[in-house]
Amino acid sequence: MELTDIADDLAATLYTEQQIQDKIEELAKRIDADYAGEKLLLVGVLKGAVMVMADLARALTLPIEMDWMAVSSYGSGTQSSGVVRILKDLDTDLTGRKVLIVEDIIDSGLTLSWLRANLSSRGAESVEICALLRKPDAAKVVVDVKYAGFEIANEFVIGYGLDYADKYRNLRGIGVLAPHIYAS
Ligand code: PRP
């Protein structure tokens, strides 16, 4: 699905498919260099990270392994509380592993902050983070993101894995959702 297919639902276009792919290539080059000769485990956080994971994994020249977690934040409405429940855990033993968490977006930072601590406590040798988007103005905790894509304003963004009510994840680009969609 293209951004132009849902033009009425958008307040603005943020990133085109090409801009996203260029950024993923850039991040992949750095990851390839930093983990050369290593056995890296990519951990994707469902569901938003599926697109980033699929494209980043293929952009890497490293032989990686992939695993997935699904987590849910306790909290009211769209506000995450920092207390996270694991809905689907990893299949992989992390003892001695180099782990790279792959995320679509860091909003408050609470999910990633909790996740990094959780994975580190399982005996991983290192746990780093790759996130395509980051909202500095929404941060409630500081998260050290080694591989960060774009910094964006505190707006409701959709596409490339990011949803509103589970819709729009299959957009090739990323856009700002028009307020009339979520205000009604
Ligand atoms: C999004 C995103 C991160 C989290 C970031 O997931 O994929 O996991 O929110 O928010 P935070 O920095 O405020 O903790 P969401 O809970 O929307 O689930 P989804 O990936 O299934 O859409």
**Cα–Cα distance list, 12 to 93, 155, 175, 178 (Å):** 42, 10, 6, 8
Residues flanking ligand 1, CB < 6 Å: 45-48, 73, 80, 103-112, 163
Question: Is residue 184 predicted with pLDDT exceeding 80?
Answer: no
Residues 85 and 77: their CA atoms lie apart, in Å, by 16
CA–CA separation, 24 and 72 (whole Å): 26
What pLDDT shows up at residue 183?
Answer: 87
Cα 95 from chain centre: 23
Take atom 15 of ligand 1 and give the residue whose Cα is closest: 48
pLDDT exceeds cutoff 90 at 78: no
What is the pLDDT, as a whole number, of residue 73? 80
Task: Determine phi and psi for 84, rounding to 5 degrees.
Answer: -115, 140
- To test the pocket of ligand 1, the residue of 45, 141, 144, 182 to mutate (highest count of ligand atoms within 8 Å of its CB) is 45
Pocket test for ligand 1, best of 46, 80, 168 (most atoms within 8 A of CB): 80
Alpha helices in the chain (DSSP H): 17-34, 50-59, 110-120, 179-183
Task: List pLDDT tens digits, range 153-174.
Answer: 999 999 999 999 999 999 999 9
Catalytic residue ranges? 107
Helix (H, G, I), strand (E, B) or coil at 51: helix
83 — pLDDT class (breaks 50, 70, 90): confident
pLDDT digits (tens, 9 = 90+) for 36-56: 999 999 999 999 999 999 999
Helix or strand run (H / E) with residue 149:
strand 147-151
pTM here is 0.95
Q: Name the residue with the closest Cα to ligand 1, atom 20.
A: 48
Q: What is the mean pLDDT of residues 125-142?
A: 96
**31 CA → ligand 1 middle, Å:** 23
Contact 120, 127 (CB under 8 A): yes
Q: What is residue 80's DSSP assignment?
A: -
Atom of ligand 1 nearest to the CA of 163: 22
Peptide bond into 47 cis (omega under 30): yes
Most ligand 1 atoms within 8 A of CB, residue of 53, 69, 106 to mutate: 106
Q: List the domains of the chain with CATH numbers.
A: 18-153 (3.40.50.2020)
Q: Atom 6, ligand 1: which residue's CA is nearest? A: 48
